[in-house]
Amino acid sequence: MFRLDRKVAIITGGGSGIGRAIAKVFAGQGAWVFVLDMDQEAGNSVVKEILHEKGKAEFRNCDVSDHLKATGVVENIFAQGGSIDILVNNAGIAHIGTAESTSEADFEKLIRVNIKGVYNCIKAAIPHMKKNGGTILNMASAAATVGIPERFGYSMTKGAVLSMTLSVAKDYVNQNIRCNCISPGRVHTPFVDGFIAKNYPGREKEMFEKLSKTQPIGRMAQPEEIAYLALYLCSEEAAFVTGCDYPIDGGFIRLNN
């Protein structure tokens, strides 16, 4: 079950965290994985790990917020692979701030990366998916549907990702293109460790435990747990699933209210 043999899969932000886990899981299930990331060292490291495990993967340096760059990379992958079967829009940036404290520059950067980046890749991939069908999976967030303190700009962008997911699913359901999104709660990634170290020096353990306990299940998710849900949604076993948002949050959305 859940095999992805002969599938060409694009994973944006695949160099670290959730994207890295998705790239490795997909490759392990037989997909030809293209890792897109701005961090060349991180992207190549993931590819090296996949190749070492006898998987098939390649790295493409890509700033998804750059329309021409993103389009060019997707076109190159199609020319090389002959199809684009799976697109996982995982690349994104975080931000902390209220409406007052969020600068215009940060607001616009969030839009460029978290919203326009998703649009750029979807727009480039869909014409190729229309030929034989395909699957698009977007990374939303629990912050798209639940108010979280000081996540004004970030929540706004993830709400847009959720809305884009529904729109794409509706527009292309008759062309055998499925589109869903995942809404994780807190996930233990290098970003989380870096954020805690930067903002709470000397209190890392305390703050990690505090953030972990905001999920009713009592801990953060591991990136691989998100990757397994992504695998299901991009597999043939999920052929009847489209236009859905899947919370994977340890009960954060439903059990905290």
Q: Name the active-site residue from 119, 154, 172, 246.
A: 154
Residue 143 belongs to a domain with what CATH number? 3.40.50.720
Cα dist from 25 to 29, 45, 120, 187, whole Å: 6, 15, 25, 17
In a domain, 156, yes or no: yes
Task: Note if 200 is an active site residue.
Answer: no
Digit-coded pLDDT (tens) for 43-77:
999 999 999 999 999 999 999 999 999 999 999 99
- Cα 81 versus chain centre, distance: 21
Residues 154 and 41 in one domain: yes
Closest by Cα among 31, 13, 233, 38 to 136: 233
Residues 21 and 142 in one domain: yes
Residues 119 and 206 in one domain: no
Residues 42 and 65 in one domain: yes
CA atoms within 13 A on the CB side of 1: 7
Range of the domain at 212: 187-220
Residues 101 and 146 in one domain: yes
Contact predicate 212/186, CB 8 Å:
yes
Q: What is the pTM of this model?
A: 0.96
Residues 114 and 199 in one domain: no
**Number of domains comprising the chain:** 2
Digit-coded pLDDT (tens) for 127-152:
999 989 999 999 999 999 999 999 99
In a domain, 143, yes or no: yes
Radius of gyration of the chain (CA): 18
